[in-house]
Copies of this chain bind each other. A is one copy, B any other.
Amino acid sequence: MDQQTIRKAGLKVTLPRMKILEILEENSQRHMTAEEVYKELLLRDEEIGLATVYRVLTQFEAAGLAERHHFEGGQAVFELNRGEHHDHIVCITCGKVEEFMDETIEKCQAKIARRHGFRIADHSLILYGECDNPECPNRPK
């Protein structure tokens, strides 16, 4: 059950946190903004404020349950942490996001950090390009 997930993160099990976690799980193939999570809650007639959505997402992030990414466009997107690290490739036309992981790149990064005298804590690698989806340029927003 989801409750365990939240409890293990050291957070009290509350309705907003349950619902938000649920929505993130159901959309685990996408990356959602706080606003999108909020709208999804409205659709389900949940009386949860936008402030709470931001608060909960930030808590999830701090607890390691979720990750926050800053793609181009100002709005941060969130995704549930499935344990396996990965980076992102984003279509600048339709917004599609795919994930990848490359052992070689990871190793190079570690090497570079060492060379510069940094103890690496995190990294952000995002490739931007145009995808080959035939109907790609049409999707708005």
Contacts and interface: CB of A to CB of B under 8 A. Distances in A.
Contacts of A91: 118
Interface stretch (A10-18, A30-38, A43-51, A125-133): A125-133
Interface string A107-123: 01100110111111111
Interface stretch (A20-28, A52-60, A97-105): A97-105
Contacts of A120: 127-129
Given A104-B105, A118-B130, A120-B129, 20 more contacts: A70-B70, A89-B112, A89-B116, A91-B118, A92-B121, A98-B116, A100-B115, A104-B108, A113-B129, A118-B127, A118-B132, A119-B129, A119-B132, A120-B127, A120-B128, A122-B128, A123-B127, A123-B128, A124-B126, A124-B128
